[in-house]
Structure formats: structure tokens, C-alpha cells
Amino acid sequence: MIKAQRGTKDIFGEEAIIWQWIFENAKNVFQNANFTEIKTPIFEATELFNRGVGDSTDIVNKEMYTFSVGGVEKNETSITLRPENTAGVVRSFIEHNLNRQSPPQKFWYFGPMFRYERPQAGRQRQFYQAGVELFGIKEPTADAEVILTAVNFLKTLGLNNLKVELNTLGCPKCKNSYKQSIKKVLAPYLKDLCDDCKMRYEKNPLRILDCKNENCKIIFEKEEIKNVILKDYVCEECSEHFKELKNYLDELNIDYSVNKMLVRGLDYYNRTVFEIKSDALGSQSAVCGGGRYDGLVEMLGGAPTPAVGFAMGVERLYALVQKKATKKLDFFVVSDNSKEALKLTQKLRLKEKSAEFDFQKRKFSKQLEKASKTAKYAIILGEDELSNNFFSVKNLSTGEQNTIKNFDELLNL
Ligand code: HAM
């Protein structure tokens, strides 16, 4: 038997209904906040991610689905299945001169991403992200708007108690002085760091702080290293930006904590970075990751444009909302007269009610069993009901049964 690839998943039945619900909530919240949808291709030129996501990241070094197409005689090109969507949205923003509209230019997306990672709970090779990207505003109002949009979306899913963690990486200037300090203090321990960190030490020492290797973590706990990590190294302007953002979040009653170890796994960030986490998710605790990337548009060939955004992992959202979102049908028609059952089901659907019936005229007890698993109400259409023109309606959560005389009354239940 041919099976789905490791780290991929079929989504159907109840799960598909919950996914649809997550999608609808994302769309409503994003559109209410004036983000418009952007759909970019699933594959892009490999160079976009090499340059955009950064060649010191795990994503570019180990996790990309990259292949060549065209062959030598047809201008062979290297393409990659998108591992994330910020680079693609930025490419599209530049290509279509989307900066011509007055800022902010605001986009949302929902779609699959691909990373060749070791699959485990909450980590897949094909996974979905729901995200937003906001261009053209350097003020911290944009950071606050993006974080607020993420929190609002989570609230619509009933997820009110997740932890928002925040940090500032500073601008390229302060980032650079921080990198030098980190390099200096880590130099004596370089030989004890993992191979990835040895590479990061050269290419992007800040990313060392993101390492999950237990040995490396022990090294970061050393007093002299901790002192450097925790020191406030950002310049006055960046520090003011961060302070203002925190003030906005306080005003909006958004609970957050500052985590100085939060550096994020992608190279394009500057100033604000944030993650939203849940303890219920085990080791893959982040449902949302984002931040500011003021240099990326220019780096990929556009005019200098500040930007900020986030992406949420939909599988992780699903794991958190699974129980809350179980959506039931409005009605299940229980009958041994398929023609009448089908007619009533159709009539209900035309009035925007979700309805289903039993296709096989099974015993009433079997039909009621199915109804109580899938619907809020069972409408019983037996011989008596059909010949005397009424409906017996059973509320499947209370067990209460009533007689209803006309169809319109069903619609008000
Ligand atoms: P990221 O942190 O790499 O950021 O991914 C964002 C979210 O996608 C994570 O918090 C997680 O919930 C989910 N995710 C990532 N990898 C996997 C995986 N292998 N399996 C399941 N879920 C996963 C970005 O992708 C940035 N583009 C976010 C951003 C947008 N920054 C600015 N704008």
C-alpha cells in the first residue's frame, strides 16, 4: 500500500471541519483588521530563501526541499518548496510595486509550508501557517497592531491564556556590537559548543542563543556569559522603540514577558521579535512566531521598507482547539422513508441549516445513535409524523423531545 509521506498528513472528517473553522476565524480577524489576502506560489527560486531566510539558519542549511528543473539545455533552475512565507510575500511586494499604495500595506495568508525536519508531535514536514505581514511603518504602532491581531485571532479560538514572549534585537548597529560581545565571551568555550553553534559562531553568533542542545544550554548558564546575554546593549533609539511597544501592549491589556534569550531562527529580524507559546504543546510550544524585518525588502532588491509580521502553525492551533471546536450539524433526519427524509434535509439546507439523513433506512435506534454523535437535534419522521403532518424533535444534548407543527418553527430552534 502506498502511504502518505513521513511528516505529512491527510485532513478529513471532523478534523477538516475544525480546520475550516480555524480558517474562517483567521480570515475574519485578519480582514476586520484591514489585512487583504495574498496567495503566493508554493515554490520559488531557491535563491530567494538562501538570501531571504539566511544561510546561517537551519531552514536553509538542512531543511529545504530543493530540486533542479529544466535540465542543462533548458536553463536549469533551482527551485524550493517554500519553508515559510515572509520571503515570498516580500518578493511579491517588490515585483508588483505594492509599495505604490500608501502605507501601511497589509497582507494575510493561510497555506502549506515545507521543511525537511525530524517529525514529532507538533512538527511536520508539510505544515500550514496562518500569517500576516505589514509593510511601510517603522513606528511601534505596527508591532503592536500585529501582536494584537495575533492575540485577537487566538481569542476567537477560545485560546486566552497563551504566553506572549517579547524581545528586541536592536538595529544592525547594536546587533553588531552584541554579536561581538557574544563572540568574545564564548571564544573560550567554542570547542565545547555543538557543530551547529560552531558554524553559527562564524555566520550569526546571535543564533547560538536559540540552540536547543543541552551542552550548549549549560554553557549559556555560566555567570559571565549570562551577564553578556542579559546586558542591555540596544541603542537609545531601539530601546525607545521597544519601550513604546511595551506601553501600547500595556494599554491594550496584553500580557507579555520579556525573554532576552528569544532570538528566533530566521536571519531577517531586527528590533522586535516575539513568540506566543502554550505549555500544553510539549517541546514544540510555539504556536506563533514573528517580528520586525526592516532590512529584508531592500536586501531582496526593493526600496527600503520597514515591515513586521507573524505566522502561526495551524497544526499546533488544531491541537489546542480540537476539543473546543467540535462543530455539530444542526439537524439529523431520522426516518425509514428515504424520499421524505431527503426532501426535508434539502429544505433545511436551502434555509442555511446544516442537515444530514440516514442513507440506508437503518433501524431507528441506529439512526438515533448516529444523530446524537453528529447533530444538535434529531427530527423524527415516522409513519405517525408523516400521516399527521408534524415533526418529533429531540434535543440531543438534553434528551428532551417535543412535537413541532410547522417547518418554520424548526428554523428557530
Ligand atoms: P517560524 O517561527 O519559523 O516563523 O514559524 C512560525 C510558526 O510556524 C511556528 O511558531 C510554529 O507554530 C509553526 N511551525 C514552524 N515549523 C513547523 C513544523 N515543522 N511543523 C509544524 N509547525 C511548524 C516563520 O515562519 C516566519 N515567517 C514568521 C514571520 C512572519 N515573521 C515575520 N513575518
Whether 219 shows a pLDDT value over 80: the answer reads: yes
Mean pLDDT of 27-34: 97
CA pair distance 374, 102, nearest whole angstrom: 48
Q: What is the pLDDT of residues 165-195, one digit of tens each?
A: 999 999 988 888 888 888 999 999 989 999 9
**Probe target for ligand 1 pocket from 129, 294, 321, with the most ligand atoms within 8 Å of CB:** 129
Alpha-carbon dihedral sign for residues 185, 191, 196, 199: positive
Confidence of residue 273 (pLDDT cuts 50, 70, 90): very high
Give the CA-trace dihedral at 53, 56, 59, 64, to 10 degrees: 90
In this prediction, residue 229 carries a pLDDT of 82
Mean model confidence pLDDT for the chain: 93
In this prediction, residue 325 carries a pLDDT of 61
- Bridge partners of 404, per DSSP, are 391
**Range scoring the smallest mean pLDDT among 197-211, 233-247, 307-321:** 197-211
Q: Please state, for a pLDDT cut of 70, what percent of the chain lies above it.
A: 99
Which is nearest to 290 in space by CA: 93, 82, 144?
Answer: 144
Q: Is the CB of 54 under 6 A from ligand 1?
A: no
CA pair distance 187, 33, nearest whole angstrom: 47
Nearest CA to ligand 1 atom 20: 123
Q: CB–CB of 125/117 below 8 Å?
A: yes
Give distance in angstroms: CA of 311 to centre of ligand 1.
6
Residue 298 CB coordination number (10 Å): 14
Give distance in angstroms: CA of 126 to centre of ligand 1.
12
**Range scoring the smallest mean pLDDT among 128-137, 213-222, 292-301:** 213-222
Q: What is the pLDDT of residues 359-393, one digit of tens each?
A: 998 999 999 999 999 999 999 999 999 999 999 99
CA pair distance 329, 61, nearest whole angstrom: 47
Give distance in angstroms: CA of 112 to centre of ligand 1.
11
In this prediction, residue 75 carries a pLDDT of 78
Does the domain spanning 329-411 belong to CATH 3.60.10.10? no
Domain parsing of the chain, residue ranges? 13-171+234-321, 329-411
Q: Is the CB of 129 under 6 A from ligand 1?
A: yes
Name the one residue in this structure whose C-alpha cell is 515554490.
Answer: 43
Q: CB–CB of 159/128 below 8 Å?
A: no
**What is the DSSP-derived secondary structure letter of residue 156?**
H
Give distance in angstroms: CA of 312 to centre of ligand 1.
6
Which is nearest to 129 in space by CA: 108, 143, 149, 147?
Answer: 108
Task: Pull the grid cell for residue 59.
Answer: 531552514
Whether 74 shows a pLDDT value over 80: the answer reads: no
CA pair distance 273, 252, nearest whole angstrom: 18
Q: Is the CB of 56 under 6 A from ligand 1?
A: no
Nearest CA to ligand 1 atom 16: 123
Residue 82 CB coordination number (10 Å): 24
**Cα–Cα distances in angstroms (integers) from residue 284 to residues 154, 218, 277, 315, in the given order:** 17, 20, 9, 11
Give the CA-trace dihedral at 24, 30, 33, 37, to 10 degrees: -110
Whether 223 shows a pLDDT value over 90: the answer reads: no
- Bridge partners of 378, per DSSP, are 332, 394
**Cα–Cα distances in angstroms (integers) from residue 45 to residues 77, 113, 400, in the given order:** 8, 15, 61
Residue 131 CA, closest ligand 1 atom number: 30
Nearest CA to ligand 1 atom 8: 313
In this prediction, residue 226 carries a pLDDT of 84
**Considering the entire predicted model, what is its pTM?**
0.85
Residue 264 CA, closest ligand 1 atom number: 2
Give distance in angstroms: CA of 259 to centre of ligand 1.
18
Q: What fold does the segment set 13-171+234-321 form as a domain?
A: BirA Bifunctional Protein; domain 2 (3.30.930)
Q: Is the CB of 128 under 6 A from ligand 1?
A: no
Give distance in angstroms: CA of 265 to centre of ligand 1.
9
Q: CB–CB of 305/298 below 8 Å?
A: yes
Q: Is the CB of 210 under 6 A from ligand 1?
A: no
Nearest CA to ligand 1 atom 31: 290
Q: Please state, for a pLDDT cut of 90, what percent of the chain lies above it.
A: 74
In this prediction, residue 282 carries a pLDDT of 81
378 CB burial (10 A radius; 0-12, 13-18, 19+): buried
**Cα–Cα distances in angstroms (integers) from residue 38 to residues 30, 91, 274, in the given order:** 12, 12, 23
Q: What is the pLDDT of residues 304-355, one digit of tens each?
A: 999 999 999 999 999 999 866 667 899 999 999 999 999 999 999 999 999 9
Amino acid at position 105, single letter: Q
Nearest CA to ligand 1 atom 30: 310
**Probe target for ligand 1 pocket from 9, 263, 316, with the most ligand atoms within 8 Å of CB:** 316
**Range scoring the smallest mean pLDDT among 81-95, 150-164, 170-184:** 170-184
Confidence of residue 160 (pLDDT cuts 50, 70, 90): confident
Give distance in angstroms: CA of 136 to centre of ligand 1.
22
Give distance in angstroms: CA of 313 to centre of ligand 1.
6
